[in-house]
Amino acid sequence: MNKEFWEIRPETSESEINEMIEKVAKFIAERHLAPAGILLFESVRPLHGIGSQALFFILPVAEIIFDSKKYQQFAIMMEDENNIKKLIKRMDELDEIYTRERRQENKLKKQHRKAKRKAFYHKIFKRKNKTA
């Protein structure tokens, strides 16, 4: 590649890439879209080079919505297949964590509703027995 391209291309360190992977994985997993995200990134993984270049192609439009430097760093991150694998793995891990927490919360809510219903019925039938 020509020298000018490398001069304007933003540098990304390993820590920035890991931070970006964490942010993207957390963003997707918190919205319960991890299975769809994993499917998307698994399907894009064989074409990671072309996908990365496509991200650069739509850069002028994407700059309207996203920060240009961060977007370019994300596109650079997508060039490496290992980064995509790390992203998929992290999304899967976070999805398991959030699903476990959500199930625990739902279990506690169910137990709370059951206890309230039981107390309500106990209160109703207790009064009827006293009057009879």
Q: Which of 32-41, 90-99, 106-115, 116-125 has the lowest mean pLDDT?
A: 116-125
Distance CA 93, CA 89 (A): 6
Burial class of residue 103 (count of CB atoms within 10 Å of its CB; 0-12, 13-18, 19+): exposed
92-111 pLDDT per residue, tens: 999 999 999 999 999 999 99
Could you write out the DSSP letters of every residue in 70-99? HHHHHHHHHHSHHHHHHHHHHHHHHHHHHH
What percent of the chain is predicted at pLDDT more than 90? 56
Measured at the alpha carbon of residue 9, what is the angle toward residues 8 and 15, in degrees to the nearest 5? Answer: 135
Q: Give the chain's mean pLDDT.
A: 87
* Element counts in the chain: helices (H) and strands (E): 7, 0
